[in-house]
Structure 1
Amino acid sequence: MSGPENSGVLAELMAQAAREGADLATMRAVAEEAGELSATRALTRLGLADEDARADLAELRELLGAWRDAKRSVWKAAAGWVVRLAGALLLTGLAVKLGFGAWLK
């Protein structure tokens, strides 16, 4: 569960704690520490908590960008070949239709 629902629940819990006498600054600090701890745990579980994680993510982004560029190039090349083939077939059809086939004999 994430997004606006969580922030609403957190705000409600902090308001309740304030009504019951808890210091709002303390509650904010607790919420911030809990968020920091949760983020650290999540990164650790993903294997991204070490010093090399930033470089690893940059390398993965670069690799993903190269993959996308390669896919784009393949599609452009395939489209180019389809257009060339269609043009060649069209020219062949015109040549046969106009009687240029007799010149080959």
Structure 2
Amino acid sequence: MADLLGCAGLLEEAESLIEDSDFKDDSCLWAVILAACSTSTNSSTAERIAREMVQLTPHQQVSLVVLANVYKAVGRWDDAFKLNKLMKDREVKKTEANHTY
């Protein structure tokens, strides 16, 4: 359901659905909505979801990669640059799962 809402552009509704569920600590569900954010111009939702994912799985940095792409999509080039620098400083490596880096 979260995926359907995200694909329909109903990001806040998808976010609320997960927050109110028993599975709110499942980073895979948050990743579904974050992926939907990459086709949206709603960078504030993407930021909230990326923060949630970083808290749940700090060792997985795919949320930072997707957030950087959202910043680029909405023209927030300075923020994308800062996030890319942060990833470089953390030595985040490009993998098949985050090939958009």
Q: TM-score by structure 1 length?
A: 0.23
Work out which of the two has the higher radius of gyration on C-alpha atoms and give 1 or 2: 1
Q: TM-score by structure 2 length?
A: 0.24
Higher relative contact order (CA closer than 8 Å, sequence separation 6+): 2
